[in-house]
Amino acid sequence: MKNRMYLQLFEDGAGAGSGGQSGSTGTGNGSQGGNAGSASGAQGTGTYTYEQLEEIANARVERSERTALANFFRNRRQSQILRHRKRQTSRMCRSYKAIWKRQTVRMKD
């Protein structure tokens, strides 16, 4: 299900018009049941001022930036852990091979 953002057209003066958009854009095939272009708000969602919309947009941008940074550092940390484990595993394999080699030399003697 897609989240749709319905925005209201803003008027500068009294009765400035709606900019030439008609109200019923979603009734073509019956899949969209709202009036997406109406000036009074879509489906009773209310009206927002420009400042409120700007605050909402800024909050979303800030939240997405924070999420992106958190994901970046989380992935970076995970890759560091994997590199450490890989080094540790290869070190353990080398030491095991060295011990095995010494034991087989002792057994031959």
Q: How far apart are CA 30 and CA 15, in angstroms?
A: 31
Residue listed under structure tokens 């852990």: 81
| Residue pLDDT tens, the chain, 109 long | 566 666 666 655 555 444 444 444 444 554 444 444 444 444 556 789 999 999 999 999 999 999 999 999 999 988 988 889 999 999 999 998 888 888 887 777 6
* Token pair for 88: 């540790």
Model-level pTM? Answer: 0.39
